[in-house]
Amino acid sequence: MQNSIWLYRLYDIAEEIKLDIVEKILAQNKPTSRMRLARIRPKSMQFKNPPVTVELDGGKVELPQGSFSTVVTAKIYDLGVVSIVQRILLTPGTGYEDTKALAVYLYNTESLEATFARQLQLIRNILAPAIVKESYQGFTEDFTIYYFRDWQENWDPVPLLLAEPDPVSAQVRRETLQNSFSYSPGDLTIITWDSALVYDTTGSTDIPDLLEFAVSQLLELRYYDSLLTEEMEKMYAAIEEAETRFRRLNHYRQIMNQLMELVVDISEITERIQNSLKVTEDIFYARVYGGALSIFRTKEWMDNIQHKISVIQRSYSMLSDEIITRRSMWLEVAIVFLFVLEIVLGFLPVFHK
């Protein structure tokens, strides 16, 4: 592994992807592997269902800064996420200023998006038999990692992480560098909202893999938060429509059934997201992973989801109470009707006389 810039595009394309079927499909033409962290014992970090990694066609990419070799890989996650990574390999001896210029260009250009789109469509076509409830609605996360095996002490990480050619304030510099992690003199990881710098003299890819996993969780939480927002809007519209119907109780029941199916599905999926990776022993990796989740605000997204689920459950209870109340009212009406009918029938013999 050499100095390189890793461009990530993560896409939510389905409710679920069957990874065992993915392996069978891809193994016919390309070697695949399951993600594992090489520098720690397997039991120190437990992946419930590690994503499948496959190498795609790379080649050369022409940029204003020159011609660069690329390595393109994809990871397929069981949660319905496809991650495509294009690694732009820096020519040995590339200096800091050239690297910074390339970082600024890559941050501001969209010239590579067509390549990512083609790769995504290729994967969707190939893996169609393994995809459950495919539904790509444009939900994407992008992330950039500046990876170095050779990092000079006089190089400044801030312009790379911010893709900013001009000087920044001391406050911005302090905030950018506050999430820094280092285990030994030969490694350094700095994480921001949409980028990270990873320096590792050994060439390990453990930290990039860990950060990518955290980004995939962020993508899923964003997607289901948006889905719940849409469903809540539909719920309010359906309740309002039901109020205008004669047989509103039947419509209430339909809405309730849909709400409970949604709550069960979302609760199950969010539990899978939370349990997809557990750090059990390795303190350093736990700090890096926990730091990434904090920076990506995954807890806030999870809280938003739980709040919306709570609103839906309260709406379910409201509809349930409404149905019970209306049933009781109709029952009382029926009792009064029967009572009146009994009185009327009692007087009928008198009228006949």
Name the residue ranges covered by the structural domains of the chain.
4-211, 216-345
Q: What CA–CA distance (Å, rounded) separates 197 from 143?
A: 11
Instruction: Say which amino acid occupies 295.
Output: I
Q: What CA–CA distance (Å, rounded) separates 317 from 259?
A: 11
Q: What b/e readout covers 230-258, taking b as 16+ CB neighbours within 10 angstroms?
A: ebbeebeebbeebeeeeebbebbeebbeb
> Which stretch, 117-121, 311-315, 319-323, has highest mean pLDDT?
117-121
CA distances from 167 to 155, 159, 242, 317, 319 (A): 14, 8, 59, 56, 58
Considering only CA atoms, which of 148, 149, 161, 159 is closest in space to residue 190?
161
Q: Which secondary-structure segment (H or E) carries 324?
A: helix 298-352
Return mean pLDDT, the chain.
84
More confident position, 199 or 331 = 199
CA distances from 305 to 221, 235, 295, 311 (A): 8, 16, 18, 10
Q: What CA–CA distance (Å, rounded) separates 307 from 36?
A: 34
127-182 pLDDT, tens per residue?
999 999 888 777 899 999 999 999 998 999 999 999 999 989 999 999 999 999 99
243-285 pLDDT, tens per residue?
655 456 666 667 667 777 777 778 888 887 777 777 666 788 8
pTM summary value: 0.84
Instruction: Please give the pLDDT value at position 130.
Output: 94
102-136 pLDDT, tens per residue?
999 999 999 999 999 999 999 999 999 999 988 87
